[in-house]
Amino acid sequence: MKAVVYDQPRSFTVTEVPDPHAGPGEVRLRVVLAGVCGTDAHLHDGQFDPVYPLTPGHEIVGEVDEVGDGVTGLRAGQRVVLDNMQSCGVCTSCRRARPAFCRVLVAQGVNAPGGFAEYIVAPAGKCHPADDLAPEAAVLTEPTACVMHGLDVLELPPGSDVVVFGAGPTGLLLAQLLRHAGANRVTVAAPTAAKLELAARHGADETVRVDRERPDASVARLRELAPEGFDAVVDATGAVGVLELCVPLARDGGTVFVYGMTDENDRLTVSPYEVFRRELVIKGSFSQAYSFDRALQAIRTGRVATDGIVTHTFALDDYADALAALRDRECVKAVVRPGGAAAT
Ligand SMILES: [Zn+2]
Ligand SMILES: [Zn+2]
């Protein structure tokens, strides 16, 4: 089969590798769509402890095409979304219901073969049937599961006033779920007008254009909206420059929520005095845990609207272009269609 294969950071080929086969308890999926996300850019640069040779791709919709011994409940031809995380269940993190910190975590597309390939083999129990959803909607299940986990971590009090920086896929998903989690008002702040329009269409109450050159103007507008600050200030950009804006925008007793992934070496300057005096809370959210089925259901019920989010589709051969699309401001979400597709 054909797959994207990295042999070291920043070095990959789209090449032929042996077809994988389903062992006992496993299924083989023909990959229908695989989402491209910021994690893939970090993996490209060698971050996240990749294991080489590596095939990335962790947001996967596939069609069951080979069923291993002992598998019940899945049949060939069925479309599923794959929960790419496999935790051991017995390490201290797993025993404390923190599977994402499992000491021997297998994350397909990060340290085990992922979905930027024609086929992927996975435990049957990690496949969630999704025949009823369009692949462009189903492919957002993994990022939605991460956002759902973020809400578990955030523990937002009902009636909160929230601002989300970033209107990429995660910002758009977060804004929607924060609304449903009881926020009184959700404001989305981002630089790209078209993405803010999409955020408004998906229910954001206020949108604020961020001028990358002059972020002060957007901060002034946000201060106008919330003179005493926001209950929760969410960063979904992973840009330290944006995180620097977040702390002063939190109200006394408010929460700064680090959702976006910065570079490992980035540093944020925070005044401990301010954290102390204003009882600020700084929280992070990593990956997903026990949230996959809820995410799938949120897409099913329409609580999370997915229309307009997947904007770019690439063939496997064009993986370099798919990665480049992450930096294209017109692109909300890029996906790879290993079955072949003209770039859109
Ligand atoms: Zn992702
Ligand atoms: Zn474990």
CA of 271 to the centre of ligand 2 (A): 35
Residue 340: pLDDT band with limits 50, 70, 90: low
For the CA of 91, the nearest ligand: 2
Q: What is the mean pLDDT of residues 110-127?
A: 97
Which residue is it, tokens 């630089």?
191
Q: What is the mean pLDDT of residues 56-71?
A: 98
Beta bridge partners of 314: 336
Per-residue pLDDT at 344 exceeds 90: no
Structure confidence at residue 253 (pLDDT): 98
Intervals of CATH 3.90.180.10 along the chain? 2-140+306-337
Per-residue pLDDT at 15 exceeds 60: yes
Structure confidence at residue 215 (pLDDT): 82
CA of 106 to the centre of ligand 2 (A): 10
The mean predicted confidence, pLDDT, of the chain is: 96
For the CA of 110, the nearest ligand: 1
Residue 342: pLDDT band with limits 50, 70, 90: very low
Per-residue pLDDT at 43 exceeds 90: yes
- The model's pLDDT over 292-339, given as tens digits with 9 standing for 90+, comes to 999 999 999 999 999 999 999 999 999 999 999 999 999 999 999 998
CA of 91 to the centre of ligand 2 (A): 4
CA of 107 to the centre of ligand 2 (A): 12
- The model's pLDDT over 272-287, given as tens digits with 9 standing for 90+, comes to 999 999 999 999 999 9
Intervals of CATH 3.40.50.720 along the chain? 147-284
For the CA of 42, the nearest ligand: 1
Structure confidence at residue 48 (pLDDT): 84
- The model's pLDDT over 186-220, given as tens digits with 9 standing for 90+, comes to 999 999 999 999 999 999 999 999 998 888 889 99
Residue 260 or residue 341, greater confidence = 260
Q: Which CATH architecture has domain 2-140+306-337?
A: Alpha-Beta Complex (3.90)
CA of 317 to the centre of ligand 1 (A): 20
Residue 49 or residue 44, greater confidence = 44
CA of 64 to the centre of ligand 2 (A): 27
The topology under which CATH files domain 147-284 is: Rossmann fold (3.40.50)
Burial of 225 (0-12, 13-18, 19+ CB in 10 A): middle
